[in-house]
Amino acid sequence: MPPRIFVLNGVNLGTLGQRRPEVYGTLTLNDIESLLKTEFPVVEFEFRQTDYEGEMVGFVREAGGAAGLAINPGAWTHYSYALHDALEALDVPKVEVHLSNVHKREEWRRRSVVSPAVDAVVAGMGAHGYAAAVRYVLERGEGQVSG
């Protein structure tokens, strides 16, 4: 049975490719999904995006039986203790992903309330950060890197 990995994207990430391409790049979420499916053909992905915090908490809970999860919380990174608590309760490998290098940006973006609840953080690698997160999950859980 192929490993199942959740790739969760939070608030405003549905506008990737249009919103501030000089910061977030020109790829859309669909482009990122296609890249991941191509690079990891043996993985069963669950791609989700929402602008609603409670719905995201529900997505995190659904990932309980998965091989792991990669999450880009967007702005929730900086203030969502509800998301922190949901991630903390999830016992699978978890990676926080940010397209931009948040540590080179505004001061308020440098603080994550989500980071203490995940196993790893990837920032500043653009879309490649998602692939790094998936690779990490696979290495932690299944011991395989690609198809």
Active site residues: 24, 98
- Rounded-to-5 percentages of helix, strand, coil across the chain: 45, 20, 35
Query: Based on C-alpha coordinates, what's the Rg of the chain?
Result: 14
Rounded CA-CA distance 63/68 in Å is 7
In order, the DSSP letters of 16-40 are TTTS-HHHH-S--HHHHHHHHHHH-
Rounded CA-CA distance 144/142 in Å is 5
Residue type, 67: A
Contact status, residue 66 vs residue 1, Cβ threshold 8 Å: no
Rounded CA-CA distance 40/33 in Å is 10
